């Protein structure tokens, strides 16, 4: 018979909205338990991770409540989950090609929030006076943390509908920024890219004291554009597993030309593995583990270090992320990191003012080279029918530009891909686009 004191599990779908989330998490910190956060379409995968399913009598192990599902179904608590107190289960960003459901105790997320507040204090900013503007989905750590930070600091939190970022002219009226206290913003590079494309978006961004940009590499050409515009970017590095950012670059250092994601925050340490350059993190905000079939699988290895899937470089000014280790391409005896190729191509595209909205390179098998790159492109504007030549001319221009790159880094083929887009967190689901190339 189950212990009634064991924590129940509440699955809260994104569609329940911010009020339900605030009510749930506020109560969670008082009564304990675990809340799983996911869009409705991912609820089945979350249930599988939690080990929940149907009973033999045809019923379900969970009961509906607050627009989600709650209960322990007469089973014992998941191994290890009860040891961590109130917690959430959130999905990783998925840039490596697979969803991972991480347990994040609220007290570890509070440690992360406190470290961010300390970082702001070093910059001379008062966290309690801040307005935190949040356009990110709350079922990911990146969207959950602005609210948790605001609650801990006693600051103001403003939810910004993501679609407003596609309407830069409406931003100033929809969300006026304070003049006498700091406004803080969290973005992914895709959102930043959209705002930079419109003068109204650039003007709005100038009102922020700090603009954290993370979740994916920031193209060097766009970083230079932001410096010219005087935008106070703070490129950062972190993940679902680390409870949001563990490094951040101070805006003044960014404006001064420093590259990378900055130095570790107070609660974290970062190192790079000598053998393959993997970024490794040890932090008091590190998730205790991810869930699979109802079991909690530890993340940390010996000494409490977690090995990420990212390749990086450390310098006195901080961490630079070079690309995904699992995304490395082996072409003609050379190891190629697609993210670095994309950054070089973006720079060339901006220099030539080509109408490219999105650009991605993926690999396909090649008998001679082992693997060759394929470039995918989405145009910035919709072309009228019958004007296919303009698209072909663009692809030819890209082929010529790519000649400036080493042979292994030049895409062997270029394709127009009207549906090319990153996911909601600005991450490229590369396995999906590799499959798209294979279907063409």
pLDDT digits (tens, 9 = 90+) for 214-246: 987 788 888 999 999 999 999 999 999 999 999
User: Residue 287 belongs to what domain range?
Assistant: 106-324
Evaluate whether residue 425 is within a structural domain. yes
Dihedral over Cα of 285, 27, 30, 292: its sign: negative
Evaluate whether residue 114 is within a structural domain. yes
64, pLDDT greater than 70: no
Structurally, the chain folds into a number of domains equal to 3
Reading phi first (left if > 0) and then psi (alpha if -120 to 50, else beta), residue 426 is in left
Q: Which of 331-335, 367-371, 389-393 has the highest mean pLDDT?
A: 367-371
> Do residues 137 and 252 share a domain?
yes
> Do residues 172 and 307 share a domain?
yes
DSSP states along 190-257: HHHHHHHTSHHHHHHHTT-SEEEE-SSPPPHHHHHHHHHHT--EEEEEEETTTTEEEEE--HHHHHTT
> Do residues 315 and 336 share a domain?
no
Q: Domain boundary residue among 85, 104, 123? A: 104
Residue 435, Cβ neighbours under 10 Å: how many? 11
278, pLDDT greater than 90: yes
- 115/217: higher pLDDT: 115
Evaluate whether residue 71 is within a structural domain. yes
Residue 384, Cβ neighbours under 10 Å: how many? 6
Q: Domain boundary residue among 77, 104, 131? A: 104
Evaluate whether residue 3 is within a structural domain. no
DSSP, collapsed to helix, strand or coil, labels residue 309 as strand
> Do residues 269 and 165 share a domain?
yes
Which spans in 78-188 are helix H? Answer: 106-122, 141-153, 168-174
Selection from 56, 115, 109, 120 nearest residue 84 by Cα: 109
Q: What is the CATH number of the domain that holds 222?
A: 3.40.50.12780
pLDDT score at 62: 34
Q: Domain boundary residue among 308, 324, 340? A: 324
* pTM, to two decimals: 0.78
């Amino acid at each position: 018979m189950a212990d009634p004191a064991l924590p129940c599990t509440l699955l809260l779908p994104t569609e329940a909205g911010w009020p339900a989330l605030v009510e749930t998490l506020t109560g969670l910190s008082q009564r304990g338990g675990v809340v799983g956060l996911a869009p409705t379409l991912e609820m089945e995968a979350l249930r599988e991770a939690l080990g929940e399913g149907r009973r033999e009598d045809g019923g379900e192990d969970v009961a509906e409540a607050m627009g989600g599902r709650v209960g322990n179904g007469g089973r014992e608590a998941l191994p290890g989950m009860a040891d961590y107190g109130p917690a959430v289960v959130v999905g990783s960003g998925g840039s490596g090609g697979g969803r991972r459901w991480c347990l994040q105790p609220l007290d570890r997320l509070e440690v992360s929030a406190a470290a961010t507040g300390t970082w702001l204090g070093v910059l001379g900013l008062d966290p309690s006076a801040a307005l935190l503007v949040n356009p990110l989905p709350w079922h990911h750590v990146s969207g959950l943390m602005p609210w948790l930070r605001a609650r801990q600091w006693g600051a103001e939190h403003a939810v910004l509908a993501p679609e407003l970022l596609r309407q830069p002219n409406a931003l100033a009226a929809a969300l006026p920024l304070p003049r006498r206290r700091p406004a803080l913003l969290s973005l992914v590079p895709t959102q930043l890219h959209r705002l930079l494309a419109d003068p109204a978006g650039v003007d709005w961004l100038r009102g922020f004291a700090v603009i954290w940009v993370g979740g994916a590499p920031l193209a060097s050409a766009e970083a230079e554009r932001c410096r010219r515009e005087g935008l106070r970017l703070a490129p950062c590095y972190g993940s679902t597993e680390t409870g949001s950012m563990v490094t951040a670059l101070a805006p003044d250092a960014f404006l001064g030309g420093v590259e990378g994601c900055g130095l570790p925050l107070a609660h974290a340490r970062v190192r790079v593995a000598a053998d393959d350059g993997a970024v490794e993190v040890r932090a008091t905000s590190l998730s205790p583990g991810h869930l699979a079939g109802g079991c909690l699988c530890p993340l940390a290895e010996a000494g409490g270090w977690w090995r990420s899937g990212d390749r990086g470089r450390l310098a006195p000014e901080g961490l630079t992320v070079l690309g995904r280790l699992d995304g490395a391409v082996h072409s003609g005896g050379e190891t190629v990191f697609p993210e670095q190729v994309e950054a070089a191509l973006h720079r060339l595209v901006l220099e030539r003012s080509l109408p490219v909205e999105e650009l991605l390179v993926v690999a396909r098998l090649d008998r001679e080279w082992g693997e060759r790159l394929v470039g995918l492109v989405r145009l910035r504007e919709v072309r009228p029918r019958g004007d296919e030549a303009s698209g072909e001319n663009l692809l030819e221009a890209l082929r010529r530009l790519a000649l400036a790159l080493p042979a292994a880094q030049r895409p062997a083929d270029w394709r127009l891909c009207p549906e090319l887009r990153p996911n909601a967190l600005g991450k490229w689901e590369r396995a999906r686009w590799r499959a798209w190339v294979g279907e063409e």
